[in-house]
Amino acid sequence: MSTEFSLYALSEEHQAVREAARAVCDAKVAPFAADVDEHARYPREAAEALLAADFHAPHIPEQYGGAGADALATVIIIEEVARACASSSLIPAVNKLGSLPVQIAGSEELKVKYLGALARGEGGFSYCLSEPDAGSDAVGMKARAVRDGDTWVLNGVKRWITNAGESEYYTVMAVTDPEKRSRGISAFVVEKSDAGVSFGAPEKKLGIKGSPTREVYLDNVRIGADRMIGAEGTGFEIAMRTLDHTRVTIAAQAVGIAQGAVDYALGYAQERRQFGKPISDFQGLQFLLADMGMKVEAARQLTYAAAGKSERGDSDLTFFGAAAKCFASDVAMEVTTDAVQVLGGYGYTRDYPVERMMRDAKITQIYEGTNQVQRIVMARQLLAGVQSDL
């Protein structure tokens, strides 16, 4: 039985994490969510509040100065931040995505330096895998790293990089041996201050407008050989192992967005009156609300189960990570769309938050592997006979 669950109930410690995260988010994140979205600005208030509460990168082990939160606690924090502001939830989510390769495969020196810096709030950590011509087909990347004595020289373009320009540190995947395909890709830590690193203009996006998405340009970026993460040629394997864990955090983000939409729709339905009574009295609307609540809870349970597997490193994590991300993001898109429907014409305006939640939800079906790719991943796991040990 999982150490994270006792008959499928959260432990007192995990309940306390939720209460603490919700208090911080209600007071210091949610009040700025609409303005962050309207002006497409980085959520400074949320970043400062999360850092002060040690929620900015809770997954960092205590030995490197972090909070040492397990995978389930990290998921709960991301869920609560996303419930208040999806853009802000990408701070802890992407800090885990960017730094997990170092945590999984980095040398002790890299861990002390970069995980310690992240824990201290000295800079965020982004993840550079995708390229203009290499999205779902990540093995088709063209960024190159060429050995030159005790250094590596990196050249290339990375696209769709979350929090690019804000983060100080970047895990970059680059080809070190073109003849070996996936086994010819290596991982490196690149710093924002390294000569030759620059950024494109922020993308103009449908949602998560407060989280900058930019291209990262690598122009003869020379770094020490000690900045390679793991052994040469293991970068793609490290990247995929990372995604097995971090897809669970995207599932958590989706659950949080959906829960925020349900919460608002419930309150509105009880206050809005038509035909002389609250619209929540109408059975047709009750059915809609019931389906919304049911699907969010199902997504949450699958996400928490996947988080337990992430923490333990279970053999079926790949299936559960893909399943949680895929299911929860599909639920988030459906539930936020339904929330707009509950509010009717008001839901379609920016005066109410559900249209923002609907726009924010869409990206969870796309990034860290489209849901079509997740279904491919799940099918391969099933056909390979990987069985659940939940």
C-alpha 173/C-alpha 191 separation (Å) is 14
Q: Which residues contact 182 (CB under 8 A, 6 or more apart)?
A: 139, 236, 237
C-alpha 329/C-alpha 312 separation (Å) is 24
Characterize 251-273 residue by residue with b for buried, 16 or more Cβ atoms within 10 angstroms of its Cβ, and e for exposed.
Answer: bbbbbbbbbbbbebbbebbeeee
Reduce the secondary structure of 25-54 to three states and give it as a string.
HHHHCHHHHHHHHHCCCCCHHHHHHHHHCC
Instruction: Name the maximum alpha-carbon separation found in the chain.
Output: 79
Tokens 């809870």, located at residue: 297
Instruction: Please provide residue 383's backbone torsions phi and psi, each rounded to the nearest 5 degrees.
Output: -70, -25
C-alpha 120/C-alpha 115 separation (Å) is 9
C-alpha 253/C-alpha 207 separation (Å) is 13
* 237 assigned to active site: no
Structure tokens at 269: 């339905």
Residue 213 to residues 1, 195, 357, 369: CA-CA distances in angstroms?
Answer: 40, 21, 18, 16
Contact in structure between 319 and 371 (CB atoms under 8 Å): no
Select from 94, 359, 114 the least CA-distant residue to 243.
Answer: 94
Select from 130, 77, 72, 125 the least CA-distant residue to 103.
Answer: 125
Tokens 């796309």, located at residue: 366
> Which is catalytic among the residues 79, 215, 355, 368?
368
Q: Annotated catalytic sites, by residue?
A: 368
